[in-house]
Amino acid sequence: MYEQVSAHEMVSMKHRSFILWFYRALVVRRARTYTEQYSFERLICEPRNKWREQQQQWRLAPGGNWLD
């Protein structure tokens, strides 16, 4: 009993990093496939980039530089 527990602890200590990496990869892949339309890039980065491109177009437009 005690030898089995120690062997199990040795195996878990040896393979803990790989098990955590594999589980995290599965969870991240599943979450990425499920919440693709609610992702961080589509909610925050894409509107910010579109707004920045619109600001650049307004800034480069002739006579439309209303920020100065």
> Does the predicted TM-score (pTM) go above 0.75?
no
- Domain tally for the chain? 2
User: The domain containing residue 68 runs over which residues?
Assistant: 39-68
DSSP state of 19: H
Q: Do 3 and 26 fall into the same domain?
A: yes
Q: Which residues contact 11 (CB under 8 A, 6 or more apart)?
A: none
Query: Position 24: which residue type?
Result: R
Q: Are residues 4 and 29 in the same domain?
A: yes
Looking at the structure, tell me whether residues 10 and 28 fall in a common domain: yes
Query: Does one domain contain both 44 and 29?
Result: no
Give me the tens of pLDDT residue by residue for the chain, a chain 68 residues long. 555 656 666 666 667 788 888 888 877 777 666 666 566 666 666 777 777 777 777 666 666 555 54
- What's the distance, Cα to Cα, between the start and end of the chain in Å? 78
pLDDT of residue 68: 47
At 31 the pLDDT is 66
Q: If DSSP states are collapsed to H, E and C, what string results for 35-57?
A: CCCCCHHHHHHHHHHHHHHHHHH
